[in-house]
Chain A
Amino acid sequence: MLNVLAQTGVHSVSGAGFPLLTALILLPAIGAVLVAVVPRTRPEVSRLVGVAASAATGALSVWLVTQFDSHDAGFQFVSKHDWIKDLGISWHLGVDGISLFLVLLTGLLFPLALWGVKPHHDPKPYTAWLLLLQAGCMGVFLSLDLFLFFVMFEIVLVPMYFIIGGWGYADRVYAALKFFLFTMLGSTFMLVGILTTAFLARSSMPGGALTFDLVQIAEHADFATNTARWLFVSFAVAFAVKVPIFPLHTWLPDAHTQAPTAGSVILAGVMLKLGTYGFLRFGLYLFPEAAVWAAPGLVTLGVIGIIYGAIVAAVQKDLKRLVAYSSVAHLGFIVLGTFALTTQGLTGSVLQMVNHGVSTGALFLLVGMIYDRRHTRLIAELGGLQKVAPVLAGVFTVVMLSSIGLPGLNGFSGEFLILLGSFITRRWWTIVAASGVILAALYLLWAYQRVFHGEPDEANAATPDMNWVDGLVMAPLLAAILFVGVYPKPMLERIEPSVNRLIAHIEDRTTYRQPEVATKGAAVQGEATTQEGHK
């Protein structure tokens, strides 16, 4: 509690002078403006500016990670300025262990996608939209003000809508519209929720002032139980669409499949996390009691997503659609871990958000490379690619195994912690969820077999292997896959304090108590043993 107050007290200092977080949002936004003023006749300049701006943002995010204090569980680099003072809306940014690596992911995935995948036409608006998207995603992960968050949450829709609609494949307009309407529908609920939250919280604020400040409301507001539950639901709908949680997922396969490669990479890599992140930051933190109340339902939906997504993925005819459905399954794991409400589950979920961004981002890049070479995504038309493109096949294998959750690669670290954490509180759900790892192996290996194994037919025999640009794009992703798989500790020790702080926040306000074994492990085994022994 004191810790939190101390945190909220230092707002005016706004970090260590340089407004790092503001810069993370403004840099790509300024880049977008610069790209917009570059003449249309100089596409290479707009591309250069775009890559430079997003790469600079990436560099800043790396610097942020190095400067981050791993012992401080609260918000760091806080920057707070009044925006609309009468309504208590402020430009309030901050980063903690939960958002830190999502910021890093946003910082690094965009330049890779921008540089690695060239648009087929009109590079200027394409680059500008992607930069704006990067700014918006940064904004979502950094906002500590409900209104600012909502603005950022909505801003990201616009560039993505145009990227799908403008640079996508055959059915792009349908997919873009569906994506937009679906998400907007969810957001309307959240808007109502945000306004209601702020106005109801007013009574518990010092002086009765209206504020949209997340930290203020979360720490001081006192909602009636039922009110809080309704408010939670209004937020949850918006996030559930974004994640997406079964049965609100059907926009995702269409959007992913029709989007251009970079769009799919960003959509899967970063934008799906806006939902899962929202659950942590605005669900659990704002409405702890309601989150505990809703946990069984959301865990159930998460588990359904794991199994359902995997089964549907298995029989897809389109490789990109298959990867899209695999996201439904993977995001199901993250929902399960989040609402397991244990240190391991939540930490695993945060880690897995980043892992999924890396692995699925890489998978979409690879599928894009295959499409560029073969001009088809239909599994039936591909085959035998390993013989003609061994490097592509090798990279695909590693990324696939990461997605399957092979120990030693990043996907396992997150998935294992999620399942361990959820087993502690939700044993039977976890038993079902764990079978998702069987299905993941089934659909991915089967797809790999049909695409890469066998003797290539005439159409596939001339497929060129990866070139060095492709290699350079994949190299950092492969490095991340290996590093997080082998040595996730640097990430875990930054995520965990903030997760524990969040759980403490929940335990403070509800009757929920995390089982002791989750926090103390072997230290409590004496007790467990004697209890069991005397049974």
Chain B
Amino acid sequence: MLSAVWLIPALPLLGALLLLVFGRKLGEPWSGVLATLMVAGSFVAGVVTFLGLLDRPAEERQFLFHVFDWLPVGGFNVDIGFLVDPLSMTMVLFVTGVGALIHLYSIGYMHGDRGYPRFFLYLNLFAFSMLMLVLGDNLLVTFLGWEGVGACSYFLISFWFEKMPNAVAGKKAFVTNRIGDWGYMLGMFLTFTTLGSITYFAKDGSGFLQHASGLTGVTATAIALLLFVGAAGKSAQLPLYVWLPDAMAGPTPVSALIHAATMVTSGVYLMVRVSPVLAQSYHWAPQVIAWIGAITALFAATVAVSQRDIKKVLAYSTVSQLGYMFLAVGSGAYVAAIFHMVTHAFFKALLFLGSGSVIHGMHDEQDMRFMGALRKLMPITASTFIVGWLAIAGVPPFAGFWSKDEILLSAWGNNKALWAIGLVTALLTAYYMSRQVFMVFFGEPRWDQAHHVAGEAEQSAAAVDDERTDVAHGVAVDEHPAPTPHESPWTMWVPLVVLAVLAVLGGGLNLPFNHDVSFLANWLEPVVHATEVVPDVATATKVGLAVVAIIAALAGIALAAAVYLKQRVRAVEPELLLHAYHYDDALAAFFGGPGEALAEGTAMADKLVIDGAVNGAGTLVRAGGSRLRVVQTGYVRNYALGIAGGAVLALGWFLVRAGL
């Protein structure tokens, strides 16, 4: 049963190849159906493999599957091979599961798009890369997937490439990720030079994770932090988060699949995978990760408070939630990090797909100021979105409460200040998500106001505002009368309902009440047992912390209700937060200004100084030649004079040398 593992990435790859060749012939909807079936098949293969693994005793749950030698040179030898263990299977199941749902959703969402088959080709290629990433048995196969998902993300963000902002956003995502990849690559090199292998586990015991205990603190710290640079790029942490909000330029299913549920969590996966190295590093190394995570969580949550674009709120929310996961990783709570990754995949995919359904129903309007009261017109979307909202806000018994609570608990055990930041973030999360729900689904309908302000300066959000306009349906908002929002087709709401159910029940994966119901912790135990830090906190404190967290969540919701529902308090949405503290603008200004000037200057120096020297030498030779030309008179007497003079000088020289 375990040998079925190769089918998991092979099916989406096959789908991508088929779509490459036959995509245009298949057209709509069959190319979408094919892609969906491939990922669904991958999910089935994942379940089969999972059952095979479950069948084994806990300590034997590790299976290596060798496909072929990839880059064997000298002492360096990596294969294309898969590592099946509880961690990779957890990732596989939610990636293929959520992935299949989002594929299904896309069949409806992408209806009528010119690039329909191309979209599903990229989507299947993405699924393949993501599965290589999580299944790879060494750092290099993971890197193959890592870069593969980056490339697919680039393709999909700039999917509607006719609009320049989309193209710019795609490029930005790729290049920013490359900065992270620089760290990843150096981390790999350092691992190899110190341990002679970059394979996680090998049958002969030569895997580097099997030898991590031999690392010195300084090397382990260097490897861990270099890999974390990679993780921060892929998982949008400070200071490399800037690409993710812009990535919302892609079609909404892409935002759900890649930029919320799966790809952006690969950084967390990587850190959990190499946790033995992290455990070996200096004490402050994990603290760096925890603090960056916590600060990112708070930073992004404050920015989300002011966003007007329905997807941008969710984008910053994703950055913030990923920060939580790194807070957990840095605190040694690997199970909590994975737990939150899974629940987050459920509710954030749900929220994104819900927002896509809203955008679809609103005929491509994304500004929340022009929504409102949609719950009556889009009942399924509204009710499922509300489930997602309660889950992310941390209201029990929804999924997000349980996983967030575990992270806050581990933060408490690590450092009270980290816990406080996490708690404030939780309050803000509840606040901005409630704001979104109230603005979109409650209150007065405002969708006819869009026309009055269409000409108003909205430059800051322009990148995403015009996303689907004019492209997918050939509809331009300001040419038509105010459209009436409508509910989406079944292919779109079925995934919403399934994800909503998961967002309600997801917490059941890992309940804190006693050891037997901590399913996820028990399942992951063989992978993380040596490195997991269990916070030493009394049960009473645990309950107290949970209560405080619930109060914070409810307070956030109440505050948002007072502002946006009852309109008793005036909304505070400072420009500074709308522009995300101008951090991105400053970066853009720097690279567009001094950065480009420097490059232009270098190119100019290349032309004037280096090539100038070459051409100068050429000119010099030519000038010298024409000067010397006058000597060549052609008269024998001149030459004879020269020879005689030279002979006299030579003779004189020898006479002087001879000491006369």
Tell me the A residues contacting B by CB distance below 8 Å.
178, 181-182, 247, 249-251, 308, 311-312, 314-316, 342-344, 347-348, 384, 386-387, 401, 406-408, 412-413, 416-417, 419-420, 423-424, 427, 430-431, 434-435, 437-438, 441-442, 445-446, 448-449, 452-455, 487-489, 492-493, 496, 500, 515-525, 528-530, 532-533, 535
- Asked if B74 contacts A437 (CB within 8 A), the reply is no
Contact B606 A250 (CB under 8 A): yes
A441-B174, A532-B219 given; A522·B75 CB < 8 A: yes
Q: Are B151 and A348 in contact (CB under 8 A)?
A: no
Q: Is B614 on the interface with A (CB-CB < 8 A)?
A: yes
A-B pair number, CB within 8 angstroms: 194
CA A434 to CA B226, docked complex, whole Å: 13
B585 near A: Cβ within 8 Å?
A: no
Residue pair A445, B171 in contact (C-beta under 8 Å): yes
A488 and B185 contact, CB distance less than 8 A: no
A519 to B175 Cα, complex, angstroms: 34
Distance (whole angstroms) from the CB of B178 to the closest CB of chain A: 4
Tell me the minimal C-beta distance from A248 to chain B in angstroms.
9
- Whether B192 contacts A517 by the Cβ 8 Å rule is yes
Residue of A nearest to B75 (CB): A521
Output the least CB separation between B20 and chain A (Å).
9
Interface string of B185-201 (1 = CB under 8 A from A): 11011101111110100
Cβ–Cβ contact B71 & A517, under 8 A:
no
Q: Do B611 and A250 touch (CB < 8 A)?
A: yes
In the complex, B76 has a CB within 8 A of chain A: yes
Taking A413-B71, A522-B75 as contacts, is the C-beta distance between A386 and B161 under 8 angstroms? yes
In the complex, chain A residues whose CB is within 8 Å of the CB of B211: 525, 529
B567 at the interface (CB under 8 A from A): no
Q: B621 — nearest CB in chain A belongs to which residue?
A: A181
Note all chain A residues with C-beta closer than 8 A to B196: 517, 520-525, 528
A-B pairs with beta carbons under 8 Å apart, 26 shown:
A181-B618, A250-B611, A311-B598, A347-B73, A407-B144, A412-B147, A420-B189, A423-B190, A427-B193, A430-B189, A437-B178, A438-B179, A452-B161, A453-B164, A487-B70, A489-B72, A496-B73, A521-B77, A523-B75, A523-B196, A523-B206, A525-B214, A529-B211, A529-B215, A530-B214, A532-B194
A519 touching B192 by the CB < 8 A rule? no
Q: Does B143 belong to the interface (CB within 8 Å)?
A: yes
Chain B residue nearest to A247 in the complex (CB): B610
Complex: how many Å from CA A437 to CA B163?
Answer: 27
Which of B74, B151, B194: most chain A Cβ within 10 A? B74
> In the bound complex, do residue B185 and residue A419 qualify as a contact, i.e. CB atoms below 8 Å apart?
yes
Q: Which of B162, B167, B182, B603 contacts A312 (CB 8 A)?
A: B603
Q: How far is the CA of A311 from the CA of B167 in the complex (A)?
A: 21
Q: Contact check: which of B70, B72, B610 meets A250 at CB < 8 Å?
A: B610
SS class, residues of chain A in contact with chain B:
helix
Compute how far the CA of A448 lies from the CA of B219 in the bound complex, rounded to whole angstroms.
Answer: 39
- How far apart sit A347 and B202, CA to CA, in the bound complex (Å)? 25
Say yes or no: A487 contacts B599, CB within 8 Å.
Answer: no
Do B73 and A343 touch (CB < 8 A)?
Answer: yes
Check A401–B167 contact: CB distance below 8 A.
no
A401-B151, A413-B71 given; A315·B162 CB < 8 A: no
Would you call B158 and A314 a contact (CB within 8 A)? no
Evaluate whether A454 and B167 lie within 8 angstroms (CB atoms) in the complex, with A408-B144, A524-B196, A533-B214 already known.
yes
Bound state CA distance, A452 and B162, in angstroms?
9
A530 to B196, CA, bound (A): 13
Q: Would you give the shortest CB distance from B282 to chain A, in whole angstroms?
A: 14
Residue-by-residue, is B212-256 near A (CB-CB < 8 Å gives 1, otherwise 0)?
001110010000000000000000000000000000000000000
Of A387, A441, A488, A533, chain B has the most CB atoms within 10 Å of the CB of: A441
Least CB separation from A440: chain B residue: B178
Interface of chain B, main secondary structure: helix
B154 nearest in chain A by CB position:
A445
Q: Are A519 and B74 in contact (CB under 8 A)?
A: yes
Mask of B604-624 contacts with A, CB within 8 angstroms, 1/0: 001000110010001000000
A417, B161: Cβ atoms closer than 8 Å:
no
Task: Report B-chain residues with C-beta under 8 Å of the C-beta of A441.
Answer: 174-175, 178
Q: Count how many chain B residues have C-beta atoms less than 8 Å from C-beta atoms of the other chain.
A: 64
Known contacts A407-B143, A525-B197; decide if A454 and B161 are in contact (CB<8 Å). yes
Q: Are A493 and B600 within 8 A (Cβ)?
A: no
Chain A residue contacts of B69, Cβ below 8 A: 489
Q: How far is the CA of A438 from the CA of B68 in the complex (A)?
A: 29
Known A449-B170, A525-B197; 20 more pairs at CB < 8 Å: A182-B614, A247-B610, A315-B596, A344-B73, A347-B74, A387-B162, A424-B189, A437-B182, A449-B158, A453-B164, A488-B71, A489-B69, A496-B74, A517-B192, A518-B75, A525-B208, A528-B195, A528-B214, A532-B216, A533-B214
Q: A488: which B residues are within 8 A, CB to CB?
A: 70-71
A315 touches B600 (CB 8 A): yes
From A254, which residue of chain B is reached at the shortest CB distance? B611
Residues on the A chain within 8 Å of B603, using CB: 311-312, 315-316
Q: Is the beta-carbon distance between B71 and A419 smaller than 8 angstroms?
A: no
A529 CB contact (under 8 Å) in B148, B175, B214, B600:
B214
B181 CB contacts on chain A under 8 angstroms: 437-438
Contact A434 B147 (CB under 8 A): no
In the complex, the 4 A-B pairs of residues with the closest C-beta atoms, listed nearest first: A521-B75, A529-B214, A343-B74, A453-B167
Interchain CA distance A312-B599 in the complex, whole Å: 6
A250 to B143, CA, bound (A): 36
B140 interface hit (Cβ, 8 Å): yes
| Set of chain B residues within 8 Å of A315, measured between Cβ atoms | 596, 599-600, 602-603
B189:A493 contact, CB within 8 angstroms: no
B168 on the interface (CB 8 Å rule)? yes
A312-B606, A449-B167, A532-B215 as given contacts; A522 in contact with B182, CB under 8 Å:
no
Given contacts A315-B599, A454-B164, A530-B214, contact A417 B192 (CB under 8 A): no
Question: In whole angstroms, how far apart are the Cα atoms of A3 and B193 in the complex?
Answer: 31
The reply to whether A407 and B195 form a contact with Cβ atoms under 8 Å apart is no
- A528 — which chain B residues lie within 8 A by C-beta? 194-196, 214
Docked complex Cα distance between A407 and B179 (Å) = 16
Residues of chain B within 8 A (CB-CB) of A181 are: 618
Q: Which residue of A lies closest to B145 (CB)?
A: A407
Give, as a whole number of angstroms, the nearest-CB distance from A100 to chain B: 16
Partner of B73, one of A308, A312, A348, A423: A348
* Chain B nearest CB, measured from A411 CB (Å): 11
Q: Which residues of A contact B599 (CB under 8 A)?
A: 311-312, 314-315
The residues in B between 73 and 94 inclusive whose CB is less than 8 angstroms from any CB of A are 73-77
With A434-B185, A455-B162, A532-B194 known to touch, is A492 a contact of B73 (CB < 8 Å)? yes
Q: Which of A312, A407, A408, A492 has the most CB of B within 10 A?
A: A407
Q: Give the contacting residue for A416; candidates B71, B77, B618; CB below 8 A.
A: B71
In the complex, the answer to whether B161 meets A492 with C-beta atoms within 8 Å is no
**From B114, which residue of chain A is reached at the shortest CB distance?**
A387
The interface centre, meaning the residue of B151, B185, B194 with most chain A CB atoms within 10 A of its CB, is B185
- Name the A residues within 8 Å of B170 (CB-CB): 449
Q: Pick the contact of B72 from A438, A492, A523, A532 — CB < 8 Å?
A: A492
Contacts of A406 in B (CB 8 A): 147-148, 151
Which residues of chain B have C-beta atoms less than 8 A from A182's C-beta? 614
- Given the known interface contacts A312-B603, A434-B185, the answer about A417 and B151 at a Cβ–Cβ threshold of 8 Å is no
User: Which residues of chain B come closer than 8 Å to A530, judged between CB atoms?
Assistant: 214
Q: Return chain B residues, CB-CB under 8 Å to A500.
A: 74
- Report A531 CB to chain B, min CB distance, Å: 9
The smallest beta-carbon distance between A327 and chain B, in angstroms, is 14
User: In the complex, A417 Cα to B73 Cα: how many Å?
Assistant: 8
User: Are B75 and A519 neighbours in the complex by a CB distance under 8 Å?
Assistant: yes
Given A438-B178, A525-B206, residue A487 in contact with residue B68 (CB < 8 A)? yes
Q: Would B189 and A419 count as touching, CB distance under 8 A?
A: yes
How far is the CB of B266 from the nearest CB of chain A, in Å?
Answer: 14
Complex: A430 Cα to B216 Cα, angstroms: 22
- Complex interface: chain B residues within 8 A of A525 (CB): 195-197, 206, 208, 211, 214
A6 to chain B, nearest CB (A): 24
Would B171 and A446 count as touching, CB distance under 8 A? yes
Distance A453 CA – B166 CA, assembled complex (angstroms): 9
